[in-house]
């Protein structure tokens, strides 16, 4: 950690705050097909600050918690926590995430900004099983029965609106399945 210099959150600066949205849709695997679940969620981001690695890399990190509930009955559908991390020198965006199924992902990528200042930013990160840089780690059970093969995430922020599209490719029930999630959220004031 390094608290002496002011953190540069770069494209992550707009994330900080609490967001809610009820336009979520999940497509999840079932043994005999798939299930679509409309959902609502709270996504909270908090500044961590600067992190220094090997006295040479300076990162800025934002911690997040995502709680997703099924619209039909309020039941917990998904819980996730992690960090978004910005490496200004390498112009790299990273997302580390963990879910309570015993699956962890470290995804990496970049951002693109709309041409007009303040018009928004798009964060794009990816990970692939076996990739030495941006990979997936999972328990032996998940490896055998519900393996995560890849993960891709595109998140857009424009003022007080946030939207994302996430695709997690799974190997489950003897087939490959694209587990998809998207939602639109508003910043809580
Ligand atoms: C908004 C995001 C997400 C939602 C709402 C969601 C929801 C779900 C649901 C409803 C299932 C079906 C099984 C069940 O009913 O418990 C499922 C399965 C699964 N999800 Fe997600 N998920 C999300 C994101 C992710 C991410 C990011 C990963 C991993 C990187 C992941 C990995 C898995 C795996 C491995 C399964 C298969 C386990 C099973 O079906 O028994 N999910 N998810």
What DSSP letter does each residue of 96-134 carry, written as one string? Answer: EEEETTTEEEEEEEEEEE-SSTTS-EEEEEEEETT-SSS
Closest CA to 65 of 99, 110, 27: 99
The Å distance, Cα 53 to ligand 1 centre, comes to 32
Closest CA to 133 of 153, 103, 105, 101: 105
Q: What is the reported pLDDT for 82?
A: 98
Tell me how far the alpha carbon of residue 83 is from its chain's centroid.
8
Q: Is the pLDDT of residue 69 over 80?
A: yes
Does ligand 1 come within 6 angstroms of the Cβ of 61? no
- Which atom in ligand 1 lies closest to the alpha carbon of residue 30? 40
Please state the rounded mean pLDDT for residues 94-111: 98
Please state the rounded mean pLDDT for residues 24-52: 98
Please state the rounded mean pLDDT for residues 122-135: 98
Does ligand 1 come within 6 angstroms of the Cβ of 69? no
Q: What is the reported pLDDT for 115?
A: 64
For Cα atoms 97, 100, 102, give the angle at the middle one, nearest 5 degrees: 80
Does ligand 1 come within 6 angstroms of the Cβ of 123? no
Q: Is the pLDDT of residue 29 over 70?
A: yes
Ligand 1 binding pocket mutation candidate from 78, 98, 102, 125 (most atoms within 8 A of CB):
78
Please state the rounded mean pLDDT for residues 3-29: 94
Does ligand 1 come within 6 angstroms of the Cβ of 78? yes
Cβ 138 vs Cβ 114: under 8 Å: no
Q: Is the pLDDT of residue 17 over 90?
A: yes
Q: Burial-class residue 174 by CB neighbours within 10 Å (0-12, 13-18, 19+).
A: exposed
CA distance 114 to 156: 10
Write down the mean pLDDT value for the chain.
96
DSSP 7: -
CA distance 151 to 52: 27
């Amino acid at each position: 950690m390094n608290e002496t210099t002011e953190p540069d959150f770069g494209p992550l600066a707009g994330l900080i705050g609490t967001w809610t949205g009820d336009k979520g849709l999940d497509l999840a695997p079932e043994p005999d097909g798939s299930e679509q679940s409309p959902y609502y969620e709270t996504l909270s981001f908090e500044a961590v600050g600067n992190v220094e690695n090997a006295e040479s890399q300076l990162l800025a990190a934002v911690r997040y918690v995502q709680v997703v509930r099924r619209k039909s009955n309020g039941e917990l559908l998904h819980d996730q926590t992690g960090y978004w991390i910005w490496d200004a020198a390498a112009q790299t965006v990273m997302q580390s995430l963990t879910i309570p199924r015993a699956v962890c992902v470290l995804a990496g990528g970049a951002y693109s900004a709309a041409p007009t200042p303040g018009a928004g930013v798009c964060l794009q990160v990816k990970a692939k099983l076996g990739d030495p840089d941006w990979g997936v780690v999972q328990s032996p059970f998940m490896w055998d029965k519900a393996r995560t093969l890849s993960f891709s995430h595109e998140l857009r922020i424009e003022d007080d609106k946030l939207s994302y599209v996430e695709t997690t490719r799974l190997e489950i029930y003897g087939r490959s399945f694209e587990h998809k999630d998207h939602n639109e959220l508003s910043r809580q004031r």
